[in-house]
Structures are given as C-alpha cells and as structure tokens.
Structure 1
Amino acid sequence: MDHNLRQAYINTDYIIDDELGFWQINIGDTDRPLSRYLNTFENPTAAFITAYNPKSKRLKEGQNQQRQQQLHQAVSKLGLASCKGYGLSQQNDWPKEHSLLITNITKQQASQLAKDFQQAAFVWIDDKGLVSLVTQQDY
C-alpha cells in the first residue's frame, strides 16, 4: 500500500452510529469501553469493513449501496452481528463510506470479507481494544 493511501486510512474517523449509540474509533488508539463490550462475545474482536469503492476506486453511490447491501448479507450468512457505521476523512478529501462494525469475528473471517469485497484494508479491533489497520499485504 502506498504511503498516501495508508495516511488516508490513518486520517479517517471510524464512526459507529447504531443501537450502540455514537462511537468514534481511530487507528492507533485503544478503546477500553469498546473492548469491554467486545469481551461479551466468544471472539472478543471486531472488524470495521466497507464494501464501498473497491480497490480504492470511487464508484457511483448506487453501486456502493448495492455492494454494501451484499456485504451485510454476507455477514448475516456467516451468523455474525454487525452495527452500522461509516468512515469519514478528517480532511474531507474522500466521501463518507458506509461500513459495518462486525463483532465476534475472527481475523481470518475479516480478511476473507475484505478480500471478497476488494478492499485495500480494513480496521481491526483486538481483544484489548487496540485499533489497527490490516492491509491487503496482510491477508
């Protein structure tokens, strides 16, 4: 992944805006309240994944919405719970991308979903609440 694309991921706020309420996570942070929530699951980890803009190439909104619905269906088929969210560039240089915070997921499952939906990376939250970036090179 080139430096500019990596920086774009790092300079994004990842927002969960669902029945959990409003929650913001950022790469490199440790979110203890989120960790406590995740530790109620068998796999106390989560992935923040979008189906928008595969390979970091902008698609029309209708295409992105259709892909996002397919991601939601794939997550449901795996029997995993998710919360709605979105990624929002801190510099407003990239459009908002609707996303899912998928809970009780393994890193292998998250990597496969990211690969299936042609994503350059996804956000991973480990069992301690550490928020990190997992790039294509890692899966």
Structure 2
Amino acid sequence: MTSSSNIDQATVKAYLETHYRVEHDVPMTLIVGKPNPSLAALHEAAHVESSAFITACNSFSRVCDVEVNVRRQEALARELTQLGLKFINGVGQHPSGDWPGEPSFLVLGVSLEDAKELGERYDQNAIVWVGHDAVPQLMLLR
C-alpha cells in the first residue's frame, strides 16, 4: 500500500477490509495482502503478469445515483475495450454490508501506471493492484 495520502484512515481501513469478488468461470475473492492461487492461475492462463481491480463507481467514495454509476462503469468498459484490454466483471463489497457493492472490473495485463491513470481518470481514491506474485495490494491515488 502506498504510504502518504489525503484519504481519511477510516476509508483506507474500509478499502483494506473490502472483498473484491471476481465473477469468472472460477469465481474468486481478492483480499488485500493475501496470495490468491486462483488469480495466479488466471494470470498464467491469460499470459499476463499483472492485473488491477478498478471501478468507476462512487467518485472519491461518495455514493452516487445508480444511473450515474451505470454510465460511469459503461464508459470505463468502453475505454478498456478501446485500449484492447481484457477484463472480467467484479464487485467490491465490504463484509459489513454497510456500503453498497460497487460493480468493478478485473483488468488483465494492465500496467501499474496505466491502472493508476484509469483510477485517477474515473475519480477513484484507490485501485487494487496485483503483480506477478498474485498478492493484491491497495494503491492509494490521492
């Protein structure tokens, strides 16, 4: 996780506790800091060394209208497609259920720099980055 940030600690704690579910043939849940063998196998099968879990919903962790989130997520999907990136639907959900689940994408083969740029472009506080070790890491963007 990046160290200095303008994001309040309660929000960062919530991001660290969130379950990042990937809706794939073999569904999996990514948890920050925990190796994920299923994701390692997906990386290998897709011939990539990295991925990122990204959403366009709820800019800067402020709840937006459903229609706004749908439009933002559709725009992100179009951009990922235009960039030629493969992606899988997912949902980020805190286990408490106090925050609505956020539709998201696991983007395969995206570089860390490009993943951060996408997160920033869609007004996100953070993304979840996964490198060759298949250990999800929280990357704060502000």
Three-state SS of the structure 2 residue aligned to 1:21 is coil
Q: Where does 1:92-103 land on structure 2 (aligned, <5 Å)?
A: 92-103=97-108
C-alpha contact (below 8 Å) 2:28/2:38 kept by paired residues: no
Match of 2:39 in 1: 34
Q: Once superposed, what is the RMSD of the aligned Cα atoms?
A: 1.2
Q: 2:27 aligns with which of 22, 26, 29?
A: 22
Q: State the aligned residue count.
A: 136
CA distance in 2, matches of 1:5, 1:98: 18
C-alpha contact (below 8 Å) 1:32/1:128 kept by paired residues: no
Q: 1:58 aligns with which of 60, 63, 78?
A: 63
Q: CA deviation at 1:46?
A: 0.3
CA distance in 2, matches of 1:116, 1:108: 12
Q: CA deviation at 1:42?
A: 5.1
- The gaps in structure 1 that reach 5 residues or longer are none
Give TM-score scaled by structure 2 length: 0.91
- The gaps in structure 2 that reach 5 residues or longer are 1-6
Three-state SS of the structure 2 residue aligned to 1:84 is strand
Q: CA deviation at 1:22?
A: 1.3
CA distance in 1, matches of 2:18, 2:75: 23
| Matched residue type, 1:62 | E
Q: CA deviation at 1:116?
A: 0.5
Match of 2:4 in 1: none
Instruction: Tell me, yes or no, if structure 1 residue 12 matches structure 2 residue 18.
Output: yes
Point out the structure with the larger strand share. 1
Give TM-score scaled by structure 1 length: 0.93
Q: Deviations over 1:80-136 (max 9, x none)?
A: 000000011111111010000000110011011001101000111111101110001
